[in-house]
Amino acid sequence: MYIDPHVHMVSRTTDDYVRMARAGCVAITEPAFWAGYDRSSVGGFFDYFRLLTDFEPRRAAQFGIRHHTWLCINSKESEDVGLSREVLGIIPQFLDAPNVLGIGEIGLNKNSRNELLILEEHIALAAKYQQMILIHTPHLEDKLKGTILIMDAIKAHGGISAGRVLIDHVEEHTVKPVLDRGYWCGMTLYPDTKCTPQRAVDIIEMYGNERIWMNSAGDWGHSDPLAVPKAQMEMRRRGHFESLVHKITFENPRSFLSQSAKFSAQPLTPTAADVTR
């Protein structure tokens, strides 16, 4: 039994849902993501948020998987400040949807001024509506700098409790600063550009098992929606106790996510095939 707290199911198949359910996935959270191209109008985001709050939870339920989501405009699209603010303007009307846990994945991509500006406005929105935050940290050579800039921006706002922020995609050089400042952190298991299961388990061995989770970040690129159960196998291969496997892949994400009353990892009977489409 596990939770994948960061996976972009909009880009995945029903076969993936089937395989995840068989591997023990009971709940997921899907942060709003970049589409692979820049959406051209706020209307595109409106429809995307409808998908995340309506269609996708119904699709997941057919496989007995509870689906939750986070809303934002991605930092890859933040250079267009005007459009970003339009999107920020429509988010509040979705925040009461039964599966919305907060604002995310927000953060930085190339660590630019406009990205930082729009990040600050997302943080202010989260504070205003008392939402949790899921943070995306930049890729590769931009990660270290961006992680620090993001944490500085959250601290500068002053209205966000560190315990309600998950900073994702940490690696060996960013995990300690994130934990030291009191945030939760996520390790993303991703081919080539983030953590392997081995390195993620190394990080647990080095930096402890508190305020940390693992996710697949499965998306439209080369990625693996079964990465979390594979990391469970890696933990077992090393002889870690089953209790630790369960803590990292179920109890920890449940603890963080349950700060929203909307989150549930309770068993869900698969629904009938959705015929409303």
Partner 1 sequence: MPESPDNTAPIRTKKATADAYFIEHRAKVLDIAAFLDRVDRAGGEDDYRVAALRVAISLLLDGKPERARRILELWSDQTTVPIGKAHMKGAVGCVDLSSSTDRST
CA distance 51 to 54: 5
CA distance 54 to 24: 23
Residue among 113 and 128 whose Cβ is closer to partner 1: 113
Q: Extract the tokens encoding 238.
A: 């090393």
Closest distance of CB 113 from partner 1, Å: 5
Starting at the edge strand that comes first in sequence, how are the strands of the sheet with 165-167 ordered? 2-4, 25-31, 66-71, 100-107, 132-136, 165-167, 184-188, 212-215
Asked whether position 236 contacts partner 1 by CB under 8 A, the answer is no
Asked whether position 181 contacts partner 1 by CB under 8 A, the answer is no
Q: Which amino acid is at 137?
A: T
Point out which span in 11-19, 50-58, 125-133, 195-203 binds partner 1 (CB under 8 A): 195-203
Closest CA to 4 of 259, 263, 276, 249: 249
Among 13, 41, 93, 112, binds partner 1 (CB under 8 A): 112
Among 46, 81, 120, 145, binds partner 1 (CB under 8 A): 145
What Rg, from alpha-carbon coordinates, does the chain have?
17
Closest distance of CB 82 from partner 1, Å: 15
Among 31, 57, 107, 138, binds partner 1 (CB under 8 A): 138
What are the CA-CA distances from residue 81 to residues 36, 73, 149 (Å)? Answer: 19, 11, 19
Among 15, 141, 158, 269, binds partner 1 (CB under 8 A): 141
SS3 at position 220:
coil
**How many of the chain's residues bind partner 1 (CB under 8 A)?**
44
CA distance 234 to 135: 26
Asked whether position 113 contacts partner 1 by CB under 8 A, the answer is yes
Closest distance of CB 124 from partner 1, Å: 18
Asked whether position 240 contacts partner 1 by CB under 8 A, the answer is yes
Closest distance of CB 115 from partner 1, Å: 6
Among 202, 224, 259, 264, binds partner 1 (CB under 8 A): 202
In our burial notation (b when 16+ CB lie closer than 10 A, e otherwise), range 147-156 reads bbbbbebbee
User: Residue numbers of the site for partner 1 (CB under 8 A)?
Assistant: 34, 76, 78-79, 109-116, 138-145, 148-149, 171-173, 191-193, 196, 198-199, 202, 205-206, 209, 237-244, 247
